[in-house]
Structure 1
């Protein structure tokens, strides 16, 4: 009777299938088991199954997909010399593959140094049941987090690692949460991937600070190369000057783009003593009234700046006075010592802001001098002519 009932039930199910034909062919129902196999969520308990072993160095292989790519040979030799003397002080982490073979999760630098030192074995924390390694999101995240915690990665290695996590389908915010960094840190590193190869190389070799590299990444590839040439020749007094230069180039690029042209820096930096109107192409299109107003405003401003010499002489006199005499003279004066000091402090603050604004003006002039605004179709025509 049980068999009969089961048969009848099967017939009923078969009879209802045509009525729910769409439901019977739902792809989700067939894909669910596959998802469990592809993303081994139950593998989490297996990750806790770790054992500390001493493994033959030659039984371990590097992970080709691991985030760290650059190893300083000098520092590697220093570590190898240390290992010869006192051994490996912290176990590397590996996962078991099969047939006595293991693949590195973290600690490749210690493994490389051990090979260089010629030691036969190395302490390792072996993880069983961790499938896929860095080819999976969880495995790669683990490797990135481990390297970041040891400060073993260069800025560009971080950038490429974060991009790979993004390629797994994570947002920058999700990447930040998984690796324990701020969103701003992750986003800043991702920006470095916009650097042209020459600027990337300068960053890798330590010729370009990572903060300045971020500013360089904001400008076009062609202008990045021109900026690097100027930086390499030492044409910026400070890093801040170089940052402001990149910021100004970016503004010029955006303004040019709004006019459907390209802003291109000259290959060679202009003569810093050059001070003419030719660097401002908008003046060429200005009418006579506009030109006359500019000349009038220019003369008036230069005249005002010239009068600052008198203020400078007064400040210099105060700076050279004997403090006791200064106290005697100002104690009974209007405003007293504190009031007059406030006036001078205010002048100092205004002078600082004026100086900063002049520095920005100098940067704007430097950026514009020798730069070109080129229509994209004109550039293409020039390139074709050069090629022929």
Structure 2
């Protein structure tokens, strides 16, 4: 019976190289490259300088993780790019590293570790998070698993991924801090053209508050969906002046949604409007009562209301209920104001004009 020959040294080395393993060792900084697929792109220069000063004074407190590439005999960062950048600033020539061998380029688990480590940091931008989450989804990880790996909720991961629908100029505004991330999510649901028109309005300060801007974006999205269902296009005007020109003499009609309505419906709206505004005007009485309560001495209130039915607690509950209802009413009115602004300040593009062989820019100047 023939005896099997032991594997040669070369064969054993090849087999060992193909088996994933990790070794802690010192690696020259010059032989480490950043991962081109790293979702993190922005690094605070001041914080990097602080870290560099700390590393120069105290040494490297935490190792980096790199992947060895046998073809180039170089290392690619998996985790620790801030430390690698700071080391270069501090003039440090070697870094203590956990070196991964036998890990192929684009390995899902390695990428997941890198994304999870970076997302856990507070200085990741929303767009960097979005790109990192999307990379994991592209590798086949479901959103719920991505959420667990990165220590976030499923909703959070989904909201961040939605930001990838933002047009490039809007993404840049978000990255630079010119657009709040919460508002950016609402804007991401608009068409690319309307996103940029919305951004122009936001940067010109045409919204009193961020909530007003969010409500306006929601109303725009609703208008887009309604127009799409009708086979038409919804194009947001660039600003107030353009909106005024687009609306023209039918401004109030468009504002109150009374375009081409039968006379009976117009009469119904007029009567209901009069009734509603009359009720709202009576809120002045409630406001006067609340103002009186707000300015009355607490000691005097205690004397007057302690013996009333239900005592002070019952009166307090009534006021708190009014506050909750008024907050809901204010929210509804804010949304109504946004809908009115969209109707008055938007251009409705006729589908026949959109289909005509004309320059696409002409759509923004065609009113229904």
TM-score range, shorter chain: 0.7 to 0.9
Q: Find the residue that maps to 2:226 and give its secondary structure.
A: helix
What is the alpha-carbon root mean square deviation over aligned residues? Answer: 3.3
Structure 1 gap segments, 5+ residues each:
1-41
Aligned counterpart, 1:60: 32
**Alignment equivalent of 1:128, drawn from 101, 105, 108:** 101
Matches of 2:117 and 2:303, distance apart in 1: 67
Q: Find the residue that maps to 1:53 and give its secondary structure.
A: strand
Deviations 1:246-270 (A, max 9, x none): 2222122222222222222110136
Aligned counterpart, 1:357: 332
Cα shift at 1:179: 4.0
Matches of 2:33 and 2:303, distance apart in 1: 82
User: Would the alpha carbon gap of residues 382 and 329 (structure 1) be closer, same or farther in structure 2, given more than 3 Å must change?
Assistant: farther
Q: How does 1:194-209 map to 2 (within 5 A)?
A: 194-209=165-180
Q: Are positions 1:381 and 2:352 aligned together? A: no
**Alignment equivalent of 1:160, drawn from 107, 121, 131:** 131
Cα shift at 1:157: 1.8
Matches of 1:320 and 1:102, distance apart in 2: 70
Deviations 1:284-335 (A, max 9, x none): 2111111122122222222222233233334434444455555555566666
Aligned counterpart, 2:365: none
User: Would the alpha carbon gap of residues 199 and 186 (structure 1) be closer, same or farther in structure 2, given more than 3 Å must change?
Assistant: same
Q: Find the residue that maps to 2:117 and give its secondary structure.
A: helix
Contact 1:95 1:105 in 2 (8 A): yes
User: Would the alpha carbon gap of residues 309 and 187 (structure 1) be closer, same or farther in structure 2, given more than 3 Å must change?
Assistant: closer
Q: Are positions 1:115 and 2:85 aligned together? A: no
Cα shift at 1:194: 0.2
* Structure index of larger Rg: 1
Q: How does 1:276-355 map to 2 (within 5 A)?
A: 276-280=251-255, 282-323=257-298, 326=301, 339-355=314-330
Matches of 1:60 and 1:103, distance apart in 2: 6
User: Would the alpha carbon gap of residues 371 and 83 (structure 1) be closer, same or farther in structure 2, given more than 3 Å must change?
Assistant: same
Aligned counterpart, 1:104: 77
Return 319-328 or 223-232, whichever deviates more.
319-328
Matches of 1:386 and 1:272, distance apart in 2: 16
User: Would the alpha carbon gap of residues 290 and 140 (structure 1) be closer, same or farther in structure 2, given more than 3 Å must change?
Assistant: same
Contact 1:94 1:103 in 2 (8 A): yes
Matches of 1:359 and 1:370, distance apart in 2: 16
**Alignment equivalent of 1:145, drawn from 116, 119, 126:** 116
Aligned counterpart, 1:4: none
Larger relative contact order (Cα-Cα within 8 Å, sequence gap ≥ 6): 2
Q: What's the TM-score once normalised by structure 2's chain length? A: 0.80
Return 378-387 or 211-220, whichever deviates more.
378-387
Q: Find the residue that maps to 1:284 and give its secondary structure.
A: coil
Cα shift at 1:225: 0.9
Contact 1:195 1:221 in 2 (8 A): yes
Aligned counterpart, 2:58: 86
Deviations 1:189-220 (A, max 9, x none): 21011000011001111222222211211121
Structure 2 gap segments, 5+ residues each:
1-14, 363-368
Contact 1:270 1:366 in 2 (8 A): no
Aligned counterpart, 1:10: none
